[in-house]
Amino acid sequence: MEFRSLLKVVTVAVAAAGLTFLAQRYDLLALVVAALAVALVACAFALRFSGVFMQEELALLRDHLETTRQQAAMLARMTREMRDAVVQHESAPAPDRATEWAALSEIVCDIADEMAELDRRTEQVEGELAALRRDGASPRPAASAWAIPAASGASALASHNPLHDDKIDPGSNSSAGGLREIPGVPHLSTFGEPPRAVRQLVAAAIAADRFELYLQRIVSLPQRKTRAYEVSLRPDGCDPHIPTSEIRNAVEHVGHQLAFDRKLMVQAMRLARMFQQRQRDVTLVADISQRYLLSEPAFDELRALVADAPNAPRRIVLSLPQRFFKKAIAVENEALRQLSEMGFRFMVREVSDFNLELPRLQQSNVRWMRMDAARLLEASQSEEQVLEVAAADFAALLGRRQISLLIEGVNDEAAVAELIDFNIGYAQGHVFAPPQAVRPEALDDGVSATAESGSRVKAGETPPKAERRGLREIARRA
């Protein structure tokens, strides 16, 4: 028994003894017996709620374990198919599959680690359930410390998730302080999984390597002029209304995040080079993960890309979640410094906490902050205070730190009108334009046109006048 529980038991025992002595002296023994009966009933309800809560957590962990095992089976099948293909074509000059083998090995290692972690947590929850069943007959003295309301069970668990401490609602009143902390599910931005349909779509696209490059406009308000583009990779034939965050969450759940981010950065650099060749002053926003930022092989590949196009990083903004900046230490700060020296700028995404360290963000070369439209409008309607200023003055506060506020998820004209009232400078959403696919030929045309122009200049011919085509034309051709 823990020291805290022992202290509670001793305190309640002393209080009960004192009440019994007073009741016997003043002839109130019936009242004391009734109070003890009420306490026993409260303890019984607390134990019941605790058991239900633990069973739900165990069921969720088992579901994650089963999903991970299915992924491992799929990867084993893909590995066998690749091995058979190598054996069948060993006589012919076989292509270099080192990259594919390395990616598969990385996926298998990640899934093995997650399976081991989920098994350990499942056994841990099963042990706690067994302990609850054994102690079911003995009442707990401190009922208020153990009671967990059924309606707030999910929020209580989320408040104990070490991966999401930055998303804790300071106004929530959770009474689960007596329970030992249950670790959260790894690699999930929320307590639940990404939608099953999105997971299946992403898994199929990863198996077949069928991802397409998409661009979505970022406009200035109120003129709605295109100021930037968000660069994303989406499965071939994907519904444009599926949020990019869900696709990234599914990729992270499947365990292919590092390779996904590498491919995204290659495409973003190609786009930046194309815009540079066409002399278009356009900013590109690319979402990357902390794992990519701290991966040495990925960092070396990024250095090689920057060496080929030194000016391209000045057109790219790397978007990172807010929790990365809140928990950044020396390693993360050093990676941000090196990327800043290359020319990259940064954006804060997934903003859920308005307690921001703006001077620190400014020193880290953060020049953008992206927030969901529903989150800002909800804050404004509830008159929520943002760093001691009103929500409507949030954009002006960021502007004083040279940080531009970008509102995403704008899907109706009513929201646009409210954002204009709040003096929001930049917005993104389906009301302006959905994500549009860009064919690889559009990028190849831009690179080959420049190469051909350079060869003609070397031959002594007059270089032709460059044809400037906007990205709308490229998207229209796609």
Helices (H), strands (E): how many in the chain?
A: 18, 11
Question: Percent helix, strand and coil across the chain, each rounded to 5?
Answer: 60, 10, 30
Q: Are strands 366-372 and 385-386 parallel, antiparallel or unpaired?
A: unpaired
pLDDT greater than 60 at residue 109: yes
What 3-state class would DSSP assign to 65? helix
pLDDT greater than 70 at residue 212: yes
| The CA-based dihedral angle spanning residues 11, 16, 19, 21, taken in that order and rounded to the nearest 10 degrees | -110
Residue labelled with tokens 């070397």 = 458
Confidence class for position 294, pLDDT limits 50, 70, 90: confident
Residue 191, burial from CB neighbour count under 10 angstroms (0-12, 13-18, 19+): middle
- Rounded distance between C-alpha atoms, residue 277 and residue 314, angstroms: 14
Q: Higher confidence at residue 192 or residue 158?
A: 192
| pLDDT tens profile 262-291 | 999 999 999 999 888 888 888 999 999 888
Confidence class for position 47, pLDDT limits 50, 70, 90: confident
Looking at 82-91, 157-166, 335-344, which range is the least confident one? 157-166
The Cα-based distances of 341 to 72, 285, 310 in angstroms read: 40, 18, 11
The Cα-based distances of 104 to 252, 258, 350 in angstroms read: 15, 12, 30
Q: Token pair for residue 304?
A: 């090689």
pLDDT greater than 60 at residue 330: yes
| pLDDT tens profile 224-237 | 999 999 999 999 88
Position 265 scores a pLDDT of: 93
Confidence class for position 382, pLDDT limits 50, 70, 90: low
Position 16 scores a pLDDT of: 78
Average pLDDT for 252-256? 84
- Rounded distance between C-alpha atoms, residue 327 and residue 449, angstroms: 45
Q: Do 265 and 305 form a contact (C-beta atoms < 8 A)?
A: yes
